[in-house]
Amino acid sequence: MKSLVFNPFSGAAGDMILGCALDLGADRGDVKELIESSAPVSVNIREVVKKGIKALDVRINVPEKEHFRTYPEIVDLVKASKLPPKVEASALDIFLKMAEAEAAVHGQPDIEKLHFHEVGQSDALADVIGSSAAIHSLNCDSVYCTPINVGSGTIECAHGTLPVPAPATLEILRRGKLYFRGGNVNRELLTPTGAAILAHFAKPVENFPQGRAVAMGYGAGDAELQGPNVLQGVLIEPDSHLVPDIIEVLETNADDVSGEVLGNLFDELLSMGARDVAILPATMKKGRPAHIIKVIAKPEDSAKLARKIIVETGSLGVRVMPARHRLTASRNIERIKIDLEGQEFETAVKIARDSEGVLLNISAEFEDCKKIAKTSGVPVREVMRRAEEAARKLFS
């Protein structure tokens, strides 16, 4: 079992991601051949040194004159390349992410009419196909990305002068929920292509997952900066088959708050994105009855949830306790059909697996089962048992 961690301390572009994956061990000859057979380009790969760090520099040589492609033209080119199925699926999704971001920024509801500018060139096509092939060839069980240095200042592009990160890049970051930060370099360090590739492959983490490093690779950027302009990639063997997650625990003591207010707060916090809420009875000084409110939240949700707690309870402060090393099972929701009393019903079930795909737990969605119980007359406990039994047969 191994994981790939991208550490974009100097940003990321398509060619940097490609170079990084090749430096980590992806077959240079195979990837080069695949790129050149899929796009009208030639590829040069060489070792360079960037401020003392040896890295792979991938140069995509394109025709001198190219027209801007539409999104459908890009899709047709990818499909016509007869790529391996996983590589084709990744390339199509990466370009879809860029198309959706561009459409959102420009207010164009029909992506079929969208004209790509910089990201529609042959070098972007080569970067996306090559990076997809290289990353898949590393056969990692999971891919992560630490906060991305996006740079600062402004850039000149087909749409004029734009702030860094460019609006489309920022939209990709938002949709991919990737962590990022501004840097002290007055230039663009993260390109839309780089952002889309990372958003497709990587889960965002604030720090390196716990594990042992087995290989490091570096992809070189074009610009010469004060520091090394490279993208670092690390192959690690995680210490656990569980999935690393980043949460914060919010906590405050509340006295003189009625049960009705606490019940409403419970529902409000969950609707605002809290992962879990617990309200525990407690005894405070002078023997006063009180409650301890504990909330599990993603770091980006902590501020709004803390404010809600203060507004609803009158508390003067909320403690925030980071939990950087929580390990969780990977969870996904599936919908299944069950037969009860001669009727067919559909319900959601939550499937929990470790990072190697081993089934850990199956739990039926209570709200769905409650509705089914009301309609069928079967006790909700029995509905849940039947749903979990059916799901286990399907997903074990």
Each residue of 120-133: pLDDT tens digit?
A: 588 899 999 999 99
pTM of the model: 0.66
8 Å CB contact between 117 and 157: yes
Nearest to 177 by CA among 152, 203, 207, 158: 203
Specify the pLDDT at position 244.
Answer: 60
d(CA 20, CA 11): 12
Nearest to 376 by CA among 352, 340, 346, 338: 340
Q: What percent of the chain has pLDDT over 70?
A: 92
Better-scored residue on pLDDT, 155 or 39 = 39
Specify the pLDDT at position 383.
Answer: 93
H or E segment to which residue 169 belongs: helix 167-176
Residue 202: other Cβ atoms inside 10 A: 22
d(CA 37, CA 150): 32
